[in-house]
Amino acid sequence: MKRLLTAAVLFAIAGVSAFAQGAANDEGGRILGLEKAWNHAVEAKDTRALDQLLAPTFAAVEIDGSVSSKSEFLASIKAPEYQPSQAVSEDMNVQVYGNSAVVVGIFRIKGTEKGKTYVHRERFIDTWIKRDGGWQCVASSATLITAK
């Protein structure tokens, strides 16, 4: 009887665990979708879409180590001299921790800035927080990849 009860408890725990894992996978999928939406918004210089994706407290650490607030980040996207032609994320991995999630990956961006063409590959870490049923990015940092 005890063994049966133990088996039933283990089965129930496994079920709950599988459910939790599935829920985390769903949330991870949602967040990866938001990452793609972010890239499309950058390509289109769509600051309204970005405004929805980024929390009011958003902070970005740029590849030169400077820090910008949400408004500064949006202003840099809007700037006429910033002309991205392609923004793609590769090798993204999302880890969900309850109501927060961390996405790591490689961001590849092509474009022109101040008349100069550039192609950057950057390692990024984005931290997302779930509030009122929706996810918003609260922090993002990027390092230029120089390692071979």
Partner 1 sequence: MRSRRPPHSARTAWNHAIEAKDSKALDRLLASTFIAFDIDGSLSRKGEFLASIKDPSYQPAEAAYEDIRAEIYSDTAVTVGVFRIGETQKGKRSTQRHRFFDTWIRYGRSWQCVASQVIMIPAKQVR
Is-contact 144 63, C-beta < 8 A? yes
User: Could you say which of 66, 80, 90, 133 contacts partner 1 (CB under 8 A)?
Assistant: 66
Stretch that binds partner 1, among 1-9, 19-27, 43-51, 95-103 (CB under 8 A): 95-103
Contact 99, 129 (CB under 8 A): yes
**Taking CB under 8 A as the rule, does residue 65 contact partner 1?**
yes
DSSP state of 80: T
Pick the piece of the chain touching partner 1 (CB under 8 A) from 1-9, 56-64, 78-86, 111-119. Answer: 56-64
| Residue 4 contacts partner 1 per CB under 8 A | no
CB 68 within 8 A of CB 76: yes
Burial of 123 (0-12, 13-18, 19+ CB in 10 A): middle
> What does the binding site for partner 1 look like in residue numbers (CB under 8 A)?
57, 59, 61-67, 95, 97-100, 102, 104, 121-123, 125, 127, 129, 138-139, 141-147
